[in-house]
Amino acid sequence: MKELIKTLTETYGPSGNEEKIRNVIKDLVTPYADEVKVDALGNLIVHKKGSGDKLMLAAHMDEIGIIVTNIDDKGFIRFSSIGGVSPFILLGERVIFENGTIGVIGVEKIDDMKELKMKRLFIDIGASSKEEAMSKVKVGDMATYYRECNFLGKNISAKSLDDRAGCAVLIKALQEVKNPKYDLYFVFTTQEEVGTRGAKTSAYSIEPELAIVVDVTICGDTPEGEKIAVDLGKGPAIKIKDMSVLSHPKIKQLLIDAAEKNNIPYQREVLDLGGTDAGSIHLTKEGVPSGGIAIPTRYVHTPSEMVNLDDLENTVKLLLAVIEG
Ligand code: CO
Ligand code: ZN
């Protein structure tokens, strides 16, 4: 699991530019799949045949990032965000473009933190002219945080654990599943961070009878943190609601029963901000009973997101308990 997380989180893949991460995941899943395909929006759809209802399991492979809007005469790069990136988090960061170009985030002279807006920041890639900068980076190119994955005791700190942690869980579950009770579709979706777009088209083509999304959720256990009843290390959180979906009672119960029957620790997620791919999937065609498993995560959308190894293992166990019935 550790090695898998390191590989996935250190791979580039902002929304709409998922080719690199998709290729990494494709290589990992192909030996275990009956069929692997990539749809028009770039979703990786992995079919593992089973006799029962069609169950769609989704985790998004895209990550947040920034996009170049213009380059000035001195070669400094201005940018805007792809997904939920904060200027406060970007201060002092380094970013990496798809071609490996690394840049440092600089900031104009500001006298008050209130003035800290995305438009006051720029990227310095070490170029001394517009021409030199443009030989490496073009308007419209995207970059992600540049950060190594580290292991801190039982915890893992890395960029893009949202939602490469979910991708890792799906990959492990596919590799370990023996007797699926469902006809399984493992979907590694695109463009979740800009509005759960890949989930929309993949669910439309699969037409699942039910769906479970594996994504991260915030924790309430850090000093003066968010008020949410989810702690790091206390097990996967079964989604009750977020701003995009009210989990279907059937899926919620399926997950709770599987956890209790198999003595897997679990928590309940009631999230008053954000959404997941379930938001798109459950509204597909005539509707799809959908729910989710949320991996407790600290510092979401920073370059140092944090998950717990036991939580990851227990999320795999819970998913396997559901799909093997
Ligand atoms: Co996210
Ligand atoms: Zn996510």
Q: What is the CATH classification number for the domain harbouring 137?
A: 2.40.30.40
| Nearest partner of 268 among 298, 303, 243, 294, judged by Cα | 294
- Say yes or no: 90 and 109 in one domain: yes
- pLDDT digits over 40-68, tens only? 999 999 999 999 999 999 999 999 999 99
Residues with CB under 5 A from ligand 2 (ion): 162-163, 215
Ligand nearest to the CA of 295: 2
* pLDDT at 14 > cutoff 90: yes
Rounded to the nearest angstrom, the distance between the alpha carbon of 195 and the centre of ligand 1 is 10
**Residues noted as catalytic:** 192
In a domain, 175, yes or no: yes
Based on the fold, state whether residues 120 and 42 are members of the same structural domain: no
Identify whether residues 40 and 75 lie together within a single domain.
Answer: no
Q: How far apart are the CA of 60 and the centre of ligand 2, in A?
A: 7
One domain for residues 34 and 94: no
Range of the domain at 78: 65-145
Confidence of residue 220 (pLDDT cuts 50, 70, 90): very high
Do both 167 and 272 map to the same domain? Answer: yes
Of the ligands numbered here, which is closest to the C-alpha atom of 164? 2
Is 172 a domain residue?
A: yes
Structural domain includes residue 151: no
Residue 150 covered by a domain: no
Q: Any idea what the CATH number is for the domain that residue 236 is in?
A: 3.40.630.10
Cis bond before residue 163 (omega within 30° of 0): yes
Ligand in nearest proximity to the CA of 299: 1
Tens-digit pLDDT profile for residues 264-315: 999 999 999 999 999 999 999 999 999 999 999 999 999 999 999 999 999 9
Ramachandran assignment for 274, one of left (phi > 0), alpha (psi -120 to 50 degrees), beta (any other): left
Inter-residue contact 182 to 54 (CB < 8 Å): yes
Q: Find the 181 Cα to ligand 2 centroid distance in Å.
A: 27
Closest ligand relative to 292 C-alpha: 2
Looking at 2-6, 72-76, 223-227, which range is the least confident one? Answer: 223-227
59 shares its domain with 89: no
Residue 132 confidence (pLDDT) above 90? yes
- Give yes or no for a contact between 305 and 232, defined as CB atoms under 8 angstroms apart: no
In a domain, 49, yes or no: yes
Residue 24 lies in a domain: yes
- Residue 239 and residue 216 share a domain: yes
d(CA 82, ligand 1 centre) in Å = 11
Kindly indicate the confidence band of residue 98, based on its pLDDT and cuts at 50, 70 and 90: very high
Asked which of 145, 178, 203 is the last residue of a domain, the reply is 145
Residue 188 belongs to a domain: yes
Q: For residue 230, name the pLDDT band (cuts at 50, 70, 90).
A: very high
pLDDT at 1 over 90: yes
Q: Strand 210-218 relative to strand 290-297: parallel, antiparallel, unpaired?
A: parallel
- Examine residue 252 and state whether it is found in any structural domain, yes or no: yes
Whether 231 has a pLDDT exceeding 90, the answer reads yes
Mean pLDDT to the nearest integer, 117-123: 97
Asked if 214 and 318 sit in the same domain, the reply is yes
Shared domain for 193 and 309, answered yes or no, is: yes
Query: Which of 80, 114, 145 is a domain's end point?
Result: 145
Determine what percent of the chain is predicted with pLDDT higher than 90.
Answer: 98
Q: How many domains would you assign to the chain?
A: 2
C-alpha 307 to ligand 2 mean position (Å): 13
Between the CA of 131 and the centroid of ligand 1 the distance, in Å, is 34
Closest-lying ligand to the alpha carbon of 167?
A: 2
What is the distance in A from the centroid of ligand 1 to the CA of 162?
5
- The pLDDT tens digits for 133-185 are 999 999 999 999 999 999 999 999 999 999 999 999 999 999 999 999 999 99
State in Å: Cα 176 to ligand 1 middle: 27
17 and 101 Cβ atoms separated by less than 8 Å:
no
Name the pTM for this structure.
Answer: 0.97
Residues 73 and 57 in one domain: no
Note whether 180 and 297 are same-domain residues: yes
**121 shares its domain with 168:** no
Q: Contact at 8 Å (CB) between 297 and 219?
A: yes
Determine the pLDDT at residue 325.
Answer: 83
pLDDT given at position 169: 98
pLDDT value of residue 313: 98
Residue 283, pLDDT score: 98
Pick from 102, 118, 145: which residue ends a domain?
Answer: 145
CA of 126 to the centre of ligand 2 (A): 32
The answer to whether the CB of 265 falls within 8 A of the CB of 233 is no
The rounded mean pLDDT for the chain is: 97
